[in-house]
Amino acid sequence: DGGITQSPKYLFRKEGQNVTLSCEQNLNHDAMYWYRQDPGQGLRLIYYSQIVNDFQKGDIAEGYSVSREKKESFPLTVTSAQKNPTAFYLCASSMGGTLRPYGYTFGSGTRLTVV
């Protein structure tokens, strides 16, 4: 079955460390997204990519970096510059098409905790 796989499900980071969250999809979707979820704040967009080798900053990109070398993969790196990284991170993908949004497919998330 097609879907989005995020790994790991739980991740612990020490102060000053960079960590990378994995997101892989086999839906043949063009667009992929990273969201951060904090209690009571809904989802906030970190980065998104509409095609391979191209990505755009979202609302809260500071302290994060991404790459899109393959259509199927959109890893997110949480750098030491991100001062409050403890959150639930969600990856999503969509068929794209600027005039016909089809809704997004979400992964099951990664919970990142700073220790």
Partner 1 sequence: AQSVTQLGSHVSVSEGALVLLRCNYSSSVPPYLFWYVQYPNQGLQLLLKYTSAATLVKGINGFEAEFKKSETSFHLTKPSAHMSDAAEYFCVVTYGGSQGNLIFGKGTKLSVKP
Between 8 and 37, how does the x/- string for binding to partner 1 read (CB under 8 A)?
Answer: -x---------------------x-x----
Q: Does 108 bind partner 1 (CB under 8 A)?
A: yes
Residue pair 110/11 in contact (Cβ under 8 Å)? The answer is yes
112 contributes a contact to partner 1 by CB under 8 A:
no
Tokens of 57: 């900053």
**How many residues form the binding site for partner 1 (CB under 8 A)?**
32
Cα 79 from Cα 56, distance rounded (Å): 17
Judged by the rule CB under 8 A, the positions of this chain that interact with partner 1 are 4, 6, 9, 31, 33, 40-45, 48, 50, 56, 58, 88, 90, 92, 94, 96, 98-101, 103-109, 111
